[in-house]
Amino acid sequence: MHPTSLTRWRKRIGPEGIEKILQVSIQVAVQTKTVTSQELCKTICDTTVMPKAATHPTDAKLVQRSLERIVRAVRGANIHLRRTYLRVSRWSLREYQRLMHGRQMRKAQRPLNKLRRCLAKVLAELGPMLESCSKEVLREAAIGAKLLLQTREDKHKIYSCHEPQVSCIAKGKAHKPYEFGSKACFVVSEKKGLVLSLTTHPGNPYDGHLLEEARARSVRNTKINITRILVDRGFRGHEVQSAEVLISYTGGLSKHLKRALKRRQAIEPWIGHMKNDGKLDWCYLKGLIGDQIHALLVGIDHNFRLILRKLRPFYAFLLNWVWKMEGLGQCENNPLGPIGQRMVPLSA
């Protein structure tokens, strides 16, 4: 198989095709009795950040990277520039990083301003020729112009030249105050943690506005109506009317509902497994569609891990039983080697 075949396959089926695979994983989980259909009525919902494959943004690094991309696109379009400033920009970036490492903030502004002037001169020379340029040149020029104009207080800033839709999201973590990517919304079954829906959203939308869409997608994937959703306090002000929504630290609840609400924290380790084992902590796929595909594939991977964990004891017992009946456990010519000779039935 050619290495690009998986990329072409993802582009061909798109997020809609990946979501059908998620629906199949839910059906297989019900058929193998990993979960029961009654368990799919009670769910937990939470959000997290799915970081994008982008370095930590700094002004000097972004400006220098934008200059390189503009020059590369211009050369690909056979457009001649009198001066590209590539060598000067690399030297200025190294000087900026050296001064910032030494905490010389004021002196570091000189190479940063020089980088901005280089980018502005290239854009000014390219300006009269933009009408006849290709879409790639126009895209890179627009990103470079926005980098020169954006300030610290602006919204919808650019944090990556190759992924301009990346957003800066603060989750209150001490070791990682800001993460750059998109927000992912999970809906999992309350008892076993089967993923029912997983959506991504650009920017940093309020969690309460995402709950109704997540519930509707879960109902569409499972064909079962959801009666109860457990959420944290970030979902206050939601718009769900067709299901019972229990929010953490809500007073005046019955003992039964208080006991049920304690189950909400179970989604946190499942998200951790999806980030560490399912590659949710770093998305390499391009664009907003790439975010959706990557998140859905992570959910499918999590579901099949649960199914295999359910089936593994059965197949281990079956293999042990076959080896016992055929005498392979004590045979010197065991095809499994010394491991097969030491295996005994689970009943022992």
Region 250-255 average pLDDT: 91
DSSP 201-243: ESS---GGGTHHHHHHHHHHHHSS---EEEE-GGGTT----SS
The whole-angstrom separation of Cα 205 and Cα 211 is 11
Phi, psi of 146 (to 5 degrees): -70, -35
pLDDT at 172: 81
Residues in the chain: 348
Residues 65 and 41 placed together within one structural domain of the fold: no
Summarize pLDDT for 298-333 with one digit per residue, the tens.
999 999 999 999 998 888 888 888 888 776 555 555
158 is a domain residue: no
Residues 203 and 223 placed together within one structural domain of the fold: yes
| Selection from 44, 40, 49 nearest residue 248 by Cα | 44
Residues 48 and 104 placed together within one structural domain of the fold: no
The whole-angstrom separation of Cα 299 and Cα 249 is 28
Residues 186 and 301 placed together within one structural domain of the fold: yes
165 is a domain residue: no
Q: How many domains are contained in the chain?
A: 3
Phi, psi of 189 (to 5 degrees): -70, 145
DSSP 121-182: HHHHHHGGGGGGS-HHHHHHHHHHHHHHH--TT-SS----SS-TT-EEEE---SS-SEEEEE
Residues 49 and 195 placed together within one structural domain of the fold: yes
At 155, list the tokens. 């919204």
30 is a domain residue: yes
Element (H, E) at 189: strand 178-189
pLDDT at 328: 53
Region 272-288 average pLDDT: 93
Residues 74 and 120 placed together within one structural domain of the fold: yes
The whole-angstrom separation of Cα 112 and Cα 30 is 58
Burial of 249 (0-12, 13-18, 19+ CB in 10 A): exposed
31 is a domain residue: yes
Predicted TM-score (pTM) of this structure: 0.86
pLDDT at 15: 95
241 is a domain residue: yes
| Selection from 149, 173, 147, 171 nearest residue 159 by Cα | 147
Residues 39 and 64 placed together within one structural domain of the fold: no
| Selection from 39, 105, 92, 30 nearest residue 61 by Cα | 92
SS3 state of residue 48: strand
**Residue with more model confidence, 78 or 3:** 78
Domain that holds residue 134: 59-149
156 is a domain residue: no
At 7, list the tokens. 């990329």
Q: Is the pLDDT of residue 345 over 80?
A: no
347 is a domain residue: no
Region 43-71 average pLDDT: 95
Element (H, E) at 96: helix 86-101
Region 101-120 average pLDDT: 96
pLDDT at 323: 80
The whole-angstrom separation of Cα 343 and Cα 226 is 44
Q: Is the pLDDT of residue 239 over 60?
A: yes
Residues 280 and 199 placed together within one structural domain of the fold: yes
Q: Is the pLDDT of residue 41 over 70?
A: yes
Residues 39 and 67 placed together within one structural domain of the fold: no
pLDDT at 263: 94
Residues 36 and 66 placed together within one structural domain of the fold: no
Region 239-267 average pLDDT: 92
pLDDT at 347: 45
143 is a domain residue: yes
State the CATH number of the domain containing residue 41: 3.30.420
Summarize pLDDT for 197-237 with one digit per residue, the tens.
999 999 899 999 999 999 999 999 999 999 999 999 999 99
Summarize pLDDT for 59-88 with one digit per residue, the tens.
999 999 999 999 999 999 999 999 999 999
Indicate the average pLDDT of the chain. 90
pLDDT at 333: 54
Q: Read off the pLDDT band of 173 (50, 70, 90).
A: confident
Residues 25 and 73 placed together within one structural domain of the fold: no
Residues 50 and 186 placed together within one structural domain of the fold: yes
SS3 state of residue 47: strand
